[in-house]
Amino acid sequence: MTSLFEEITPEASGDVPTRKITISINGEQRSANVEPRLLLAHLIRQGFKLTGTHTGCDTTNCGACTVLLDGEPVKSCTMLAVQANGHEVTTVEGLAGPSELHPIQEGFKDEHGLQCGFCTPGMMLTAKALLDRNPDPTEEDVRWALAGNLCRCTGYQNIVKAVLWAGDKLRGEADGGEES
Amino acid sequence: MVLDELKIGGLGSSRRRVEDDRFIRGKGNYVDDIVLPGMLHMEILRSPVAHARIKKIDTTRAWDMPGVRLVLTGEMMAARNLAWMPTLSYDTQAVLATDKVRFQGQEVACVVADDPYIAKDAIEAIDVEYEVLPAIVSPEQALAPEAPLIRDDKANQQDNVIFDWEVGDKAGTDAAFARADVVSKIEMHYPRSHPSPIETCGSIADFDRATEKLTVYMTSQAPHIIRAAVALVAELPEHMIRIVSPDIGGGFGNKVPVYPGYVASILASILLERPVKWIEDKTSNLMSTGFGRDVYLQGEMALRADGKILAVRMHTDSDHGAFFSDAQPSKFKIGLMHSTFACYDIPTAHLTAKGVYTNKAPGGVAYRCSFRVTEAMYFQERMVQAAADDLGMDQAEFRRRNFVRDDDFPHRTAFGFLTDSGQYGKCLDVGLEAIGYEDFLKEKEEAAKRGKLLGIGISTMTEPLGAGNSREYDILGIKMFDSAELRVHMTGKAILRTGAKTQGQGHETTWGQIVAHELGIPAEDVLVEEGDTDTAPFGMGTYASRSTPVAGAAVSMVARKIRAKARKLAAHLLEASEEDIEWELGRFHLRGDPSRGVTIQECAMAAYSNLPDGLEPGLENVAYYDPPNLTWPFACYIATVEVDPGTGVWDVLRVVAVDDCGVRINPMIVEGQIMGGLTEAYAMANMQFITFDEEGNCIGGNYMDYLLPTAWETPGFELHEVVTPCPHHPIGAKGIGECATVGGPAAFVNAVMDALKGHDVRNIDMPLLPDRVYKAMTERTDVSGAPPLRME
Ligand code: FES
Ligand code: FES
């Protein structure tokens, strides 16, 4: 009996019904044989060993598991891995290259937008989807966009500031100019 | 050239956080991120009912499932003397139920399997037969003469009472009430709540038969206490137990107690000789682990007509659930409830407290609070507002008249605490000025003419943070001191370890700042490590805002020990006597000739390479700090609200917070703590609670029922400060992590009650749900939130 939970193998193990799926994760094509009931969050965390995606609840409320599916935020605890077959998934590990930071990451650090850090990856990915769609959001836009992500530590004010900071920086970059 | 302390990340620097570098990359290391070779997964079967006798447990079907390695029941635990474990309050708690289940969600059996999906399947295959008994969900029911006995496992327990406790001066208080011009009374319930960090609890137990060593990775705010508890419960040698708290996704008191899941995972690992991981789901976390609050108050104040408080009388009934497992200092049965009214000059007071068992989850933890201080200050500030109303006095003026004066310190409170400093009047004034008090009162009057209900609520308080001193504060007899160990390497870089454990408070950043302040070593040259009992010095952990007051003080003290030794090295290097050496930040110089000096880094090098005769090599030390007193931060929180008369919905207009936590090590982090605390205060006032129906079903056992505010509902916060350094802390700092959670709720509730003035309502229990507010307004009645919840 092979545990399909942690040992995701390209070949089926034989004694459990599985389906072969292929996902582009952070730009890399990965294939896996998975049980149809395996949650996407678990495939990402245990199968692909990308533990920056967290799980905090069992009712799709907390958003700690948020990833981007073809650029849209989804709660990976509420999606089956097989549903992501053929799609592009971005996790926190894919926000920037190993030695660089995305402006959203910089913003969270600079504005003290995190404390325990558990909600942070989900928050940042939701923020990324917002800024991709709306590069110059108001505070209200940011608060509304983040309403599916719970944070228990910060009281949100600094998270909102962090997202606005990142928006400013990204627009500055897009204009090709330095920020004042 | 004297070093600029801010440039090296010393005290007062809003240095950006060191720990963020891994968190923003998704490279934190939380317990569920850890994978050990050969690791198995554990799930817990929980009771679906609140009170029942267990007739039979049949595990055959579960054992037969492929991938299942172990099924544990209470009977198997009992065979190893592990069916019950001691609690932190000298009671016992079932690990896995044997005789009865006593709350919904109680642990009944465990399955260990190859993966958590299989374990979950197998849980479903365990058949348990229950004989359901009547459930008790409130003190009133628990104390009724015909109430069923919950703890029939205890030989001498005849009823559901855990304790009857009192403090203060009964005779003096009775006499003062006899003299009073006005007696103001109020009753209320502080509802059951849950700290609910986003990360749940969990552990990985790894017993190595070859070395006989047990390593447990777990979500613990107090790893050393856990090591001691495991040594006692599992009867393992303490030096062969290593507890590691990796990154923790928030604690707020929830991760202090010992939970059955930890114990079961340890036993499973010992039996199977493989690592066993247990990660709770959110429903289990909310239904079974340490809750906060659940206290009923009957409060009375004896008042003189001119507004002077003559005496306070309080009685509390507290609901502790099925096992008395409050995590609190052992001397005080209802925590530090008697710290209530500490900021007011009250001649005499008396508190009686009764604690009861009910069929609800155990674990009255200090939820972002210093042991029931949250209830104490909420009751205080609600009573104060009711008293001001009864006297027809302005609520700010009434407070000002009764504050302990700035020149009255040290001050002994009516309940015996010693407060050492405060500027309560100034703190209130800063708050009133910031909110524009007089203008708001006018605006409120104007709005009333247009049928709008505006209200303003004030909450002022001082609270005791940072237990011990060890004379009075211990947990299970272990004194509440804390520790720090500093090792300065030869190049002047250093590693610091403490007995505390950060869960978001930013110790990795702020402890370095204290070292920078004491030694002039740049904060970025100090690596901070916590949470591994094999390497960290013994400490009591992080909760009750004790890190800065106790462990932070230990950091200062160990750095001063290092400085004392460095002085000897400096004298040697400068060929002078120690008395002729002076310290400036980061450097010693010759008295009278500042140009001739050596840096702390040069001293560090000398400690390993150029020593005077007779001096021990190395530059390392450890300090254990036992504070002389608690620290007493104080605050004023003011909220303004608008209540919709048609629906009872209320919106927050503004929130002003004025906090005095003494010297701020890192102002950015302090403000982050305050905003987090205010949000929990708002949550409790507005939406967050756990209640129970008549059958003992938990309402609020998941995030669909247990409402936490999102970025959308959470109001913006305006922060202000007053700075009164703590007189006994080495750097003048006080605790801050919990002040806003403690003092904040009353500001919101007082604001709504102020808006409802003229509606004959004295109290609505939190949370102030729209239907409760609407009922109070339209039926002109108080609204109780006490369980059982009846669906109407
Ligand atoms: S884990 Fe909470 S929403 Fe996915
Ligand atoms: S930083 Fe802890 S939950 Fe958001």
- Report pLDDT digits (tens) over B482-502: 999 999 999 999 999 999 999
- pLDDT for residue B468: 75
**Residues B7-40 pLDDT 10s:** 999 999 999 999 999 999 999 999 999 999 999 9
Pocket probe mutation, ligand 1, options A42, A55, A74, A118, max atoms within 8 Å of Cβ:
A55
Percent of chain B past pLDDT 90, that is, above it, reads 93
- pLDDT for residue A7: 61
Cβ–ligand 1 distance for A60 under 6 Å, the answer: yes
Partner residue opposite A62 with nearest CB, options B21, B198, B503:
B198
For residue A155, how far is its CA from the centre of ligand 2 (angstroms)? Answer: 9
Q: Mean pLDDT, to the nearest integer, of A90-100?
A: 93
- pLDDT for residue B520: 98
Q: Is B726 a catalytic residue?
A: no
- pLDDT for residue B792: 60
Q: Is B546 a catalytic residue?
A: no
Q: Is B636 a catalytic residue?
A: no
* Length of chain A as a residue count: 180
Q: Mean pLDDT, to the nearest integer, of B390-403?
A: 98
* Catalytic residue selected from B93, B104, B106, B221: B221
Q: Mean pLDDT, to the nearest integer, of B430-446?
A: 98
Q: Mean pLDDT, to the nearest integer, of B82-100?
A: 95
Q: Mean pLDDT, to the nearest integer, of B259-274?
A: 97
Partner residue opposite B199 with nearest CB, options A56, A58, A59:
A56
pLDDT confidence tier of residue B473, bands split at 50, 70 and 90: confident
pLDDT confidence tier of residue A3, bands split at 50, 70 and 90: very low
**Residues B237-249 pLDDT 10s:** 999 999 999 999 9
- pLDDT for residue A180: 40
- pLDDT for residue B574: 97
Q: Mean of the per-residue pLDDT values for chain B?
A: 96
3-state SS string over B720-775?
EECCCCCCCCCCCECCCCCHHHHHHHHHHHHHHHHHCCCCCCCCECCCCCHHHHHH
Q: Mean pLDDT, to the nearest integer, of A87-114?
A: 96
pLDDT surpassing 70 at residue B278: yes
Crossing angle for the helix pair A157-174 and A120-133, to the nearest 10 degrees: 40
Exposed e or buried b for every residue in B519-555, given b needs 16+ CB within 10 A? Answer: bbbbbebbbbebbbbeebbbbbbbbbbbbbbbbbbbb
Angstrom distance (rounded) from CA A96 to CA A128: 12
* Topology adopted by domain A103-174: DNA polymerase; domain 1 (1.10.150)
Domain ranges for chain B = 5-27+482-625, 34-133+200-248+255-288, 292-467+629-779
- pLDDT for residue A2: 39
Min Cα–Cα distance to chain B from A82, Å: 16
Q: Mean pLDDT, to the nearest integer, of B558-564?
A: 98
Name the nearest CA neighbour of B27 among A91, A151, A78: A91
**Residues B310-353 pLDDT 10s:** 999 999 999 999 999 988 888 889 999 999 999 999 999 999 99
**Residues B617-644 pLDDT 10s:** 999 999 999 999 999 999 999 999 999 9
- pLDDT for residue B635: 98
- pLDDT for residue B543: 87
pLDDT surpassing 60 at residue B135: yes
CB pairs under 8 A, 24+ apart, for B617-622? Answer: B619/B487, B619/B488, B619/B489, B619/B562, B619/B565, B619/B566, B619/B569, B620/B485, B620/B486, B620/B487, B620/B488, B620/B562, B621/B485, B621/B486, B621/B558, B621/B561, B621/B562, B621/B565, B622/B483, B622/B484, B622/B485, B622/B486, B622/B537, B622/B558
**Residues B532-546 pLDDT 10s:** 999 999 998 888 888
With beta carbons less than 8 A apart as the criterion, state whether B88 and B328 touch: yes
For residue A147, how far is its CA from the centre of ligand 2 (angstroms)? Answer: 14
**Residues B733-756 pLDDT 10s:** 999 999 999 999 999 999 999 999
Q: Is B201 a catalytic residue?
A: no
Q: Mean pLDDT, to the nearest integer, of A155-171?
A: 98
- pLDDT for residue B233: 81
- pLDDT for residue A177: 52
pLDDT confidence tier of residue A4, bands split at 50, 70 and 90: low
Residues B676, A152: C-beta atoms closer than 8 Å? yes
Task: State whether CATH 3.90.245.10 applies to domain A19-94.
Answer: no
Domain B292-467+629-779's class? alpha beta
pLDDT surpassing 70 at residue B118: yes
**Residues B683-735 pLDDT 10s:** 999 999 999 999 999 999 999 999 999 999 999 999 999 999 999 999 999 99
Ligand 2 site: residues with CB under 6 angstroms? A 114-120, 151-154; B 198, 250, 504
Min Cα–Cα distance to chain B from A34, Å: 13
> What ligand is nearest to the CA atom of residue A154?
2
Cβ–ligand 1 distance for A56 under 6 Å, the answer: yes
CATH code of the domain occupying B5-27+482-625:
3.30.365.10
Residues B114, A52: C-beta atoms closer than 8 Å? no
**Environment class of residue B390 by beta-carbon count within 10 Å: exposed (0-12), middle (13-18) or buried (19+)?**
middle
* Catalytic residue selected from B508, B518, B671, B738: B738
Query: CA separation (Å) from A59 to A118, B36, B49, B351?
Result: 17, 28, 21, 42
Could you check whether B5-27+482-625 and B292-467+629-779 share the same CATH topology? yes
Q: Mean pLDDT, to the nearest integer, of B116-126?
A: 97
Q: B458: part of which helix (H) or strand (E)?
A: strand B453-462
For residue B437, how far is its CA from the centre of ligand 1 (angstroms)? Answer: 42
The CATH architecture to which B34-133+200-248+255-288 belongs is: Alpha-Beta Complex (3.90)
- Nearest ligand 2 atom to alpha carbon A114: 1
- pLDDT for residue B232: 84
Instruction: Give chain B positions within 8 Å (CB) of A3.
Output: 67, 114-115, 118
For residue A64, how far is its CA from the centre of ligand 1 (angstroms)? Answer: 5
Residues of chain A with CATH 3.10.20.30: 19-94
pLDDT confidence tier of residue A1, bands split at 50, 70 and 90: very low
**Residues A18-74 pLDDT 10s:** 899 999 999 999 999 999 999 999 999 999 999 999 999 999 999 999 999 999 999
- pLDDT for residue B148: 97
Angstrom distance (rounded) from CA A68 to CA A88: 8
Residues of chain A with CATH 1.10.150.120: 103-174
